[in-house]
């Protein structure tokens, strides 16, 4: 039987490919990496100022993609993906995305903990505050280290919804511009507890649409009308995931984590487990908890890096781990506003 011409060509082509020297294979890998970088640039609308910048960004992209590919080839409960941070180094990522302000907050002034005597038997096995209408859509802090404002606002939006029945998106920019005393320094970092103190003394926060986010430090615009108020705030007892569960069962809670690892930078889905730092540098919000079908307990977190990061902007982190500080230190400094 005659071999059709097309197949013969295909077979020869294959043999040629297989016998190609290693150097050529490396070149192929590089070519497909160039294609990945090009399509990523299109997807994220990235434009470089010249060929030199493009070449150096390509090297960063290639290193990040290599890290992601080899991580995903391993056996993990979560996976990484190429996202908007693919052409920045982990050092650059830490410098713009996270916040060094938490370091000085190791000792917190004691507050009460209203949920202290809540019985564990009374807690739901899982909760997702999104399904109860207490979580606004995921926001994006952009190139500004004011995660603390997004974290505090997410918890505030939650308690305002639970106490008034109305979900209102509140202004992070008002915190960035106006809450500039003490630890809170706009894009240079801040603390959620200090944000709550400001919201209390300010008589609440303005609606997001009236005081929109512009991702940089600005002049405080006074005279805005408050759209959501809180009475006070409380700290969840430190290093106690059980106490955190009692709080999250009742409302969204601000949480500080170490968000500087590469696994955090490129988290794309699943339940984050395994090793993680505990140098708190990022503020997020715990908006629920649950258990996967394979029995992995997790916290459901809202982040402020847009919807292309993580699970549409959300993140799941392992719950009730052996280390009392919690995954990435999440149990170290949680707090929430009260109505």
For residue 60, give both structure tokens: 């960063």
3-state SS string for 292-334: CCCCCEEEEEECCECCCCCECCEEEEECCCCCCCCHHHCCCCC
Cα separations in angstroms, 149 against 169, 179, 256, 258, 282: 13, 10, 12, 16, 11
DSSP character string of 130-147: GGGT--PPP-B--SS--H
159 and 339 Cβ atoms separated by less than 8 Å: yes
* Comparison of 18 and 109: residue with beta carbon closer to ligand NAG: 109
* Comparison of 26 and 116: residue with beta carbon closer to ligand NAG: 116
Q: What CA–CA distance (Å, rounded) separates 257 from 145?
A: 14
DSSP label at 216? S
Catalytic pick among 146, 187, 250, 282: 282
* Comparison of 117 and 201: residue with beta carbon closer to ligand NAG: 117
Catalytic pick among 90, 99, 250, 303: 303
* Comparison of 159 and 276: residue with beta carbon closer to ligand NAG: 159
Q: Is 303 one of the catalytic residues?
A: yes
80 and 68 Cβ atoms separated by less than 8 Å: yes
Q: Tell me the closest approach of the beta carbon of residue 272 to ligand NAG, in angstroms.
A: 32
CA angle 326, 328, 329 (to 5 degrees): 50
DSSP label at 283? E
* Comparison of 117 and 131: residue with beta carbon closer to ligand NAG: 117
DSSP lists the bridge partners of residue 299 as: 289, 317
Contacts with 226 (C-beta within 8 Å, 6 or more apart), sequence order: 202, 203, 204, 205, 206
Which residues are at the interface with ligand NAG (CB under 6 A)? Answer: 114, 116-117
Q: Tell me the closest approach of the beta carbon of residue 112 to ligand NAG, in angstroms.
A: 6
118 and 250 Cβ atoms separated by less than 8 Å: yes
Catalytic pick among 147, 178, 276, 328: 147
Q: Tell me the closest approach of the beta carbon of residue 118 to ligand NAG, in angstroms.
A: 9
Q: Tell me the closest approach of the beta carbon of residue 117 to ligand NAG, in angstroms.
A: 4
H or E element that contains 80: strand 78-80
Q: Tell me the closest approach of the beta carbon of residue 334 to ligand NAG, in angstroms.
A: 16
138 and 132 Cβ atoms separated by less than 8 Å: no
* Comparison of 117 and 222: residue with beta carbon closer to ligand NAG: 117
Q: Tell me the closest approach of the beta carbon of residue 116 to ligand NAG, in angstroms.
A: 4
Report, as residue numbers or ranges, the catalytic residues.
147, 282, 303
């Amino acid at each position: 039987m005659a071999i059709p011409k097309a197949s013969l060509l295909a077979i020869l082509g294959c043999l040629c490919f297989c016998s190609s020297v290693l150097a050529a294979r490396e070149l192929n890998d590089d070519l497909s990496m160039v294609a990945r970088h090009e399509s990523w640039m299109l997807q994220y609308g990235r434009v470089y100022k010249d060929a030199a910048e493009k070449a150096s960004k390509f090297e960063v992209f290639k290193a990040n993609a290599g890290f992601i590919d080899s991580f995903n080839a391993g056996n993990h409960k979560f996976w990484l993906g190429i996202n908007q941070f693919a052409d920045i180094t982990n050092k650059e990522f830490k410098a713009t995305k996270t916040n060094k302000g938490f370091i000085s907050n190791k000792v917190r002034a004691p507050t009460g903990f209203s949920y202290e005597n809540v019985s564990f038997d009374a807690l739901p096995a899982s909760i997702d505050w999104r399904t109860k209408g207490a979580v606004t859509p995921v926001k994006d802090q952009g190139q500004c280290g004011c995660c603390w404002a997004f974290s505090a606002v997410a918890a505030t939006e939650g308690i305002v919804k639970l106490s008034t029945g109305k979900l209102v998106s509140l202004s992070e920019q008002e915190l960035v511009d106006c809450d500039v005393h003490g630890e809170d320094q706009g894009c240079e970092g801040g603390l959620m507890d200090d944000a709550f103190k400001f919201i209390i003394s300010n008589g609440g926060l303005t609606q997001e649409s009236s005081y929109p986010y512009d991702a940089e430090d600005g002049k405080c615009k006074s005279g805005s009308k408050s759209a959501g108020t809180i009475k006070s705030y409380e700290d969840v007892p430190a290093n106690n995931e059980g106490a955190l569960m009692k709080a999250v069962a009742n409302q969204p809670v601000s949480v500080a984590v170490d968000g500087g690892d590469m696994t955090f930078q490129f988290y794309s889905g699943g339940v984050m487990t395994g090793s993680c730092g505990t140098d708190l540098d990022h503020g997020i919000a715990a908006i629920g908890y649950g258990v996967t079908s394979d029995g992995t307990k997790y916290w459901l977190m809202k982040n402020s890096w847009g919807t292309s990061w993580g699970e549409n902007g959300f993140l799941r982190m392992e719950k009730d781990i052996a280390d009392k500080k919690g995954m990435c230190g999440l149990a170290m400094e949680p707090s929430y506003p009260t109505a």
